[in-house]
Chain A
């Protein structure tokens, strides 16, 4: 087991390192003039341009710049803008010369929004998806099952942003059945916090539960035909106990794997939801940064999102091998 964990850890770290190098190359080596790119092309003064060159040591070899960046992540570094020195504490992911603030701070201020969005979504999608999927599996082949599976296929074939946009425009503004999306910190007003996130949660949850329903249905159908389920039934256990206590447990394992990766992906990729429902999360930060060419912020967010995905991948693999020892051998 220890060997397996170590091997997976090494491969996860190698992917993180490769992502770091790839992002660095993308942002510092690809552009012909990184200082100009980081400064932004609109209203970039000569003074700011020189400041950036000096701060990031852009006149020195690329390897040294990369070392600077990497050391900054672990030990922090200082940036000087307009004569003021700001310390960028570890993990320092660079400095936004547009906002005069370290990238880590900007990401930190937006992360709670995305996290609340994803957590609420996670609860909804798992409960609805698994419930619908196991109901369909129990009544396999019935009219309800077929109707349900056909509708999940159709719903999941319509692009997500179209569904979200139509709900946002028509169900929250034209016919205000659902509350409009907005962000209020939970510490400020908890009721408003819930109300503002309710519609995005519902849209995300109901749209994505279709694929969860299909996965859990498939895996439940398989589990329900296993011998131990027949044994449980033969013992005289009630239908509910057999389905929800015996079958659901092992039927859920593959669903949980997909769930882990989906959540990791959503933390960096709730961009459409944030854009459409006007939530100031990480995705919105990236889009704003794109509009004013704030490359360090985009770079930092890409790195954070990649690390989250790799870490989640690693955790899912470890968790899976704990549950199913066969995985360790392959």
Chain B
């Protein structure tokens, strides 16, 4: 199909007409006669968003999410590519499992689905998974997400072994002794008062401090997932200042917006790992995202059935939705406060995640000859989030009832409209 988008404002502020034919941008003059026309006056055109951190639940937990429903939510959120975390059933810890996830994406996806491989077999942190064979299937991101690669030696080996494959270890930083399986609330006055097992900030930052030194020592590529603490931001800043390690970092929308007091009523919607932190940590991750210490926003979109959330707080499944509201949250917290401009948004949510994931055809400029992945954004529209109006099968939406930007007007993936308001 073909498309002409007129009067769109690009991230750098220039106004342009964008024409799409056969999945790539073409000169506006070359647009086919029958092309659909879309008036984008007042709208901002960004490269299609890329999420380095998505849980799609298929195969294994299709009652919570499928590739079809998850990627439809992604398209509604402006995403044209998602990286699928390997905590599936079976876990993505073999080349075959990775190929299957990619195949599901080609079959059902409303955006590109890129499998992430597990670092260790069964994600249990003991033995390396078949990293090279998975790399042969195009996997470049490896993670035991949900579990930490806590063993220093395994982390060293993974970083070293992946060098020839240009792979990156995406770490879920959680010292399992400092923050055990029951840990579920930011260790603070609130955890003390509610009697919830504490998840101290140092359980994250000490692992990252170790890992960035191992990355420097091994020369491997390291990515810190879902930074939640001021100390972690400082550690990443320090590692980047040394300039000797290939280190990147990520923050989730919920760690940018939501703070610990949300758990006061024991509402398990707000149970997430790492936990929601207090305002000084929110401030630190916002600052880190603004100054580039934190490279990307990753949603950690984690759908769960109501059944899995209807347990006591310390037992309920951790995680919350994020694909549909990620851009809204970044606008609210970063753009509308002047911390980040649209070029910055394009970088943190498209260009940088594509680069870290080595997804070379995404996160590209909106220029003639480039693949046509884009999202059109209305910078002023707002609405109240309604969890029941989600494309996701799950309803664990922590933004339900909040007044937030409602920006996505049109999502185009490879020249195809995957979402239109």
Partners in one complex: no
